[in-house]
Chains A and B, each alone.
Chain A
Amino acid sequence: MSDAVIQVDGLVKDHVSNFLRKRFRALDGLSFKVAKGETYGLLGPNGAGKTTIQKLLLGLIRPTAGEVTVLGEKPGSRDGLGRIGYLPENPYFYTYLTGQEFLEFFAVLAGVPATKRKERIDSLLELVSLKEIRQRPLRKFSKGMLQRIGIAQALISDPELVFLDEPNSGLDPIGRYDIRRIILELKAQGKTVFLNSHMLPDVREVCDRVGILHRGKLVAEDKIANICGAGGYQELEEYFMHTIEVAENEYRKAGSITPYHIERESNR
């Protein structure tokens, strides 16, 4: 996989609590690659470290150890970020702005030339089906509309690589369908998509390959075609549950008997 857009080697991230300086290992020796044009899905239980990985790849947080390159650049570099789009999980938007103002603001930040902004915003509003309500304040948008305007801001610079963190979270079936349609369109355009999601049927439909994260470790990684075809699993959910069960048993055998969510909360 020489044309890797994302390359991660031995990535470790420790979170340190503010007062007691207690360390909690969020990511533990992760290594993976994502190829150009690939749609990669990162799966895992809540708190497994999926969002942490995206933040590291964007340079919002720094690794404790390991090597990370994104589009051949160090995460967070100005050149790299200019070629990346990002939609965080449950984002808050500036509700006092209209959809049009919101995209104009991010077009400037993303470095879209002034002469191309209008054209770019028009085409994105068309893509996310919000053209008719572009002058409506965001506080009057539904959850699905907010997710779609969020995707539009992620795509404002026509990025090569798009990070989407739980884009389907809390959406109704129509909203989920819209997001799937947009991701498939990005895929058709040859863009690389890195998707964190709990919606396994959606992941199966849009992703080429998935990785499963458990307690900060990448415990499985395979192509969807291998999992749901030759792998013998009817649904991605079956594979996911089986993988997590095996990983959890291994973890328990290694000594820890604290249920995962309790351990995680107590470490926060």
Chain B
Amino acid sequence: MFKLDVINAVALNTFRETVRDRVLYAIFFFALLASIAGAIFGSLSVHQEVRILLDLGLLTITIFGAVIAVFVGANLVFKEIDKKTIYLIFSKPIARGEFILGKFLGLALCLLVIIFAMGAFLYFVACVQTGAFGPVYPLAGALSLVYLELVLLVAMATCFSTFATPLASTFFALALWICGHLGLSLLNLGQLSESPVVRAATKGVYYVLPDLASLTMIRSEMIDARFVSPTVILTAVAYVFVYSILLLSLASIIAERREFQ
């Protein structure tokens, strides 16, 4: 049985490590600059200022969030092995799964704070541009979807970092992230084929890859302030939860079997 206080302690330690890293602030600063750039681009368009600002802002938050998720996530477990702090950790009476889950939650919490801060800044810029306080929920809803996607990315990077170097983990996680965005297109393309083998294969790949394209589609609908059924949202949350649990379980099994020379 997992001990909650151990998971909390590892998560808090990971959160502290990440927020006390100066590189994070550089990334954060560039993300804010990019949001301001979005406002400038928006002002060049005719009657689409806010839409362009929000689209560019969300894209910026997604990309910078992904950079943090992948680069920090890829180092998450590897750094503990490389710096040999893993010897101190695993010589204590904790399950390796607790450690993996704690590392994941620590970075996920850190991303939550970053997404919230960047989202609040984006909302502030939008308010300045329109000169009025617009509704918060379309942006908040879209940001929640961005966050779900990043959580999945952290789980991928965490999993890879239990057995691969940071460079390889970064490559694997980014590749899986990009493929996840293309999965739906691949499925649609496969269904056009007359070969049942191709159709089955593309369907299989679609189910194995994380379905990030669907998350993006829901996000677009939310930012357009269109109605999105709660069932769709709950399904997306459940999907990310289950996929992340599977990845973290795999990471725990790898850590459990691994020898720390």
A-to-B contact residues, CB < 8 Å? 15, 55, 58-62, 78-82, 84-86, 88, 90-94, 96-97, 101, 105-106, 108-111, 114, 153, 157, 163
Contacts and interface: CB of A to CB of B under 8 A. Distances in A.
User: B10, B13, B20: which has the most chain A beta carbons within 10 Å?
Assistant: B13
A157 to B, nearest CB: 8
Contacts of B95: 78
Contact of B17 (A59, A60, A96): A96
Contacts, number: 80
A91 B84 contact: yes
Contact of B261 (A61, A93, A110): A61
B172 to A, nearest CB: 18
B194 interface: no
B259 A62 contact: yes
Contact of B87 (A91, A106, A108, A109): A91
B94 interface: yes
Contact of B93 (A79, A90, A114): A79
A93 B13 CA distance: 12
Interface of B: 3, 5-6, 8-10, 12-13, 16-17, 20-21, 83-85, 87-95, 259-261
A143 B3 CA distance: 33
Q: Which 4 A-B residue pairs are closest in the complex by CB-CB distance?
A: A108-B9, A86-B91, A82-B93, A109-B92
Contact of A60 (B3, B20, B259): B259
A97 B16 contact: yes
A260 to B, nearest CB: 19
B92 A110 contact: yes
B85 A93 contact: yes
22 contacts: A60-B87, A60-B260, A78-B93, A79-B93, A81-B91, A82-B93, A84-B91, A86-B87, A86-B88, A86-B91, A88-B84, A88-B91, A91-B84, A93-B85, A94-B13, A94-B85, A105-B13, A108-B6, A108-B9, A109-B10, A114-B5, A163-B91
